[in-house]
Structure 1
Amino acid sequence: DGGGGDGGGDGGGGGGSVEELEDAKINAQLDDVVHLFSEAERAMKLCDQRWLEISDNYALLLLDAVWATLLKHAADRNLDKIASQREAADRLAEARKLLRTLHGADWQRLGQRDDTGPQQAVWVRLFVLQGALAFHRGEIDDARSHFERAEKLRQKLVLGPEDDGKIAQLLSMGFGSHESRAALLACAKDQNRAVARVLKRRADRQAALDAKRQQDKLRKEVRARERVQVRSVYPFLLRPFFRP
């Protein structure tokens, strides 16, 4: 019995070592991720501010950098440092500023885009990260406010039982289930815009297909003319070798 107990103890110790090695591996990977995001951020800052304000690339980078920092904090409590908290807060503030410039203070510019849903999903990420940072800073009320705002917006970006009628309407128009759902999500559940989106995407696909067919037809015609030219020239090329 004693031997069995010792064996169990050794097994437990071995398991602990494996866990420690796995944690060390994850920490090393997170270190690399945080470092790469920091390098990318420094490179982005070298760009002209005007270019940074016409796309969400820099804002998304900042959100990813904060997310990586939070994951690293879960492993080594790095966010307990005031400097790390301030750095994360500055990144979120800059991301929010860039997104407001791109989407408008009240997201009014999103109404003119076909990808309203995916763009609003970026704001869900921002609110979640703001809530997580506030929680780690001990600002519980602010954290709750950010999380509630994120959840409220998230619910607008997913289809629920209350949207079955809209899906049924799109299906009755001959649209597929997948494209109907995708269009509603992309257009913030606006049925009219979803219909327009599906029709436009279908028209774009048909136009691309027609253009490809036209190119293939022209390519075949060119090859046919080249073959005719070769046949017409071929006898003249052989004539010197067959003189009487």
Structure 2
Amino acid sequence: MTSVVIGWILVTVTLILGGVFLLLHNVMGDTCVAMDEWVRSPTARSALDDILPCVDNATAQQTLYESKDVTFQLVSIVNLFITKVSNFDAPPQAGPTLYYNQSGPLVPTLCNPFNSDITDRQCANAELNFENAQQEWKKYVCEVSVTDGICTTVGRLTPTYYDQLMAMVNVGSVLYNYGSFLVELGDCTFVRKTFRTISMNHCSGLRGNTRLIVIGLVLASAAVMLCLVLWVSFTRESKHRGYAKQSQQESFSVDKINIA
């Protein structure tokens, strides 16, 4: 009896798993078809339009231009401060805005990756880039007086000015390095490439594997069910044979008693 119960539990579990994987197979199939249609005809109305609201190419290019322009402006402000304040030996009479006892070697300027017309620009040998500016500018930071905030050691950048410059550099670095990627997200170019890769390299394999899993679970369920039927039939036949044998023995005993 216990074997029969366990067998029916196995049949139920395999059927449930088969249904789950069949649902997963259908969902993946529909998703792959929707992705393929959207990749081939991104401007046509599809099931993914409401999920992926993409901007048009003109808007995306304008966004890219604005990100480059902001990067250019940020680097220009940083270099203007370095040339006009940090590297300028102003007299004490110039006031705290221009004078904080800066001295020593001149601070190298930051490379601006764009010209004024936002075309690409080659960096000069003496210019720093976004990657090494933090480490190099630390060499020009001075110690400051607590009372008046001017440098008490050799240096052309106070810790406060250094932190402000690095904040602007970090913003410019993000815009420069990830601006194109963000634009690709906006016009769904990145999503389109990802969907194309999934559709070409994974969809057929996923559909095939889930189909094999469903077939395997159905066959396993059918095999267990057949075993249960054969087991029940065998058990019932064994009981019938036992009853028949017992009846024959009882009949034989009665005959012996009657003869005696």
TM-score, length of structure 1 as denominator length: 0.26
Structure number with higher helix proportion: 1
- RCO (CA 8 Å, sep 6+): is it higher in 1 or 2? 2
